[in-house]
Structure 1
């Protein structure tokens, strides 16, 4: 089993991607909106809105689903056991607020393969544009860690300083998950059996199916929007973070938030026991 470095830098052909109002509503429910209080987040969980918004809005982290499923560069990355693959990093850049339904044209490419010793880190980028005007809508950058695929003597990859300040957070927001959340979230597109099949997750070394990293990312995004933007998801311009530990459905998360300046927020998501699950978080605001 091995990776194929020849795919690096090969951009895929444009691929159409459409979503509906039902897709964006389902995504909001999957990341926990309205779960504990059905009347909360109505602007994201119904087309009726709430006192502040009389029509449906879209959580900004849905931007990751706009490019989800497009094969990186249109080619297979290599031959490896998919049970050894976990999401490592994610960034979404929103060039404009997302509409409840829409169509874009998506291209993607592998941007790097890095040797991390016990595994390999593979990074990629996808761009979604308006098919009529060519205007950028969403850019996503992500990486996956593939255990057992390192040791090939390659570049270990760039190192970046953490944006987390060396002081206590300005806000600490508690965000619960629930036992069946992964089964609901997977309906937004990520059907990886790591999150639903105990036999598959056991192959990956997990005691039971884990929560999608992007679900944790979406839960964290909700905390940021609620705290920093007072519920206005359209204010978010970007959000990036590194997945550092798995989450089991039903565990309670705590999002630590640091206000860096008027347009920049650092964040870190932890379990109740202090285990960091989403690190080096940075969000920007319009």
Structure 2
């Protein structure tokens, strides 16, 4: 069996050295739409608030950069863990959580420690939980929990894992906004380290069951956090404490995303849909916790 749950979860932690600088941060921000027009900023390229994402002299780092720092080694390292041997064409990103322990530096060198806390049996699929804890010389920086959905790898008799869903508030959203995804967005975003051909190669996408390449789930994840920070948190990236989501559906480059936001004490709940496909769900169970 390609997935040996016992071997994967009992394996020794693996360590990887990460390094990044301002160019990696700027590329990531551009890959999630920094500098592009939005309903709030119709001419954003030189907007001072937007230059915080793109100009090295005043750069700050969106916490979701943690998912690609060092070239996205958390996902790559997890899928090569002992006991795991899967076909990339069967892999989908199921969910993502980033917990920030302090503000991410523009330049950094850090050590990532990776484990597989759980492998869940969903019947026709398996869910692999990957955890990466990252620290530099000054202490912990962030923790990432990544859920990978692998079709055709269930049925091994394991724990099904949690299945609770987060209900949306029973009231109108406090804010609704939209973000357009450029046709070339996936080609730019993948330069930050996720080279899965599902997001660029039409033939590979067809093998995976899609009629054309799809956008990286983590690109949508970044687009959404940037929108929350810009519209609700006053552009203050350091206010983000954690950010969790479940990937509920695909996004195709060229589409527009509709974001509905509900403010609650210390947190913001978000729903992301594709209005061009009858508001098909894209991100669900999405919460940004903040100071």
Alignment of structure 1 residues 1-286 onto 2, 5 Å: 1-5=1-5, 6-36=7-37, 37-40=44-47, 41-48=50-57, 55-66=58-69, 68-70=72-74, 71-72=77-78, 75-130=81-136, 132-133=137-138, 135-162=139-166, 164-261=168-265, 263-272=266-275, 273-286=278-291
Per-residue deviation, 1:13:
3.3
Q: Which runs of 5+ in 1 are unaligned?
A: 49-54
CA distance in structure 1 between the aligned counterparts of 2:186 and 2:93, rounded to whole angstroms:
15
Residues 13 and 277 (structure 1), Cα distance of their counterparts in 2 relative to 1, 3 Å cut: same
CA distance in structure 2 between the aligned counterparts of 1:108 and 1:163, rounded to whole angstroms:
31
Residues 31 and 140 (structure 1), Cα distance of their counterparts in 2 relative to 1, 3 Å cut: same
User: Runs of at least 4 residues of structure 1 off by over 6 A?
Assistant: none
CA contact (8 A) 1:73 1:108 kept: no
Residues 209 and 73 (structure 1), Cα distance of their counterparts in 2 relative to 1, 3 Å cut: closer
CA contact (8 A) 1:10 1:73 kept: no
Residues 107 and 268 (structure 1), Cα distance of their counterparts in 2 relative to 1, 3 Å cut: same
CA contact (8 A) 1:163 1:281 kept: no
Q: Which residue of 2 aligns with 1:52?
A: none
CA contact (8 A) 1:195 1:210 kept: yes
Per-residue deviation, 1:76:
4.0
CA distance in structure 2 between the aligned counterparts of 1:149 and 1:4, rounded to whole angstroms:
10
CA distance in structure 2 between the aligned counterparts of 1:167 and 1:285, rounded to whole angstroms:
21
Per-residue deviation, 1:77:
4.3
**Greater helix content:** 2
CA contact (8 A) 1:163 1:266 kept: no
Per-residue deviation, 1:74:
6.5
Residues 73 and 84 (structure 1), Cα distance of their counterparts in 2 relative to 1, 3 Å cut: closer
Per-residue deviation, 1:61:
1.0
CA distance in structure 2 between the aligned counterparts of 1:283 and 1:115, rounded to whole angstroms:
28
Superposition CA RMSD, Å = 1.6
CA distance in structure 1 between the aligned counterparts of 2:215 and 2:160, rounded to whole angstroms:
28
Per-residue deviation, 1:11:
4.1
Per-residue deviation, 1:73:
8.9
Secondary structure at 1:8's aligned position in 2? Answer: helix
The count of residues paired between Structure 1 and Structure 2 equals: 277
CA distance in structure 2 between the aligned counterparts of 1:10 and 1:282, rounded to whole angstroms:
31
Per-residue deviation, 1:160:
2.7
TM-score, normalised relative to structure 1: 0.92
CA contact (8 A) 2:11 2:82 kept: no
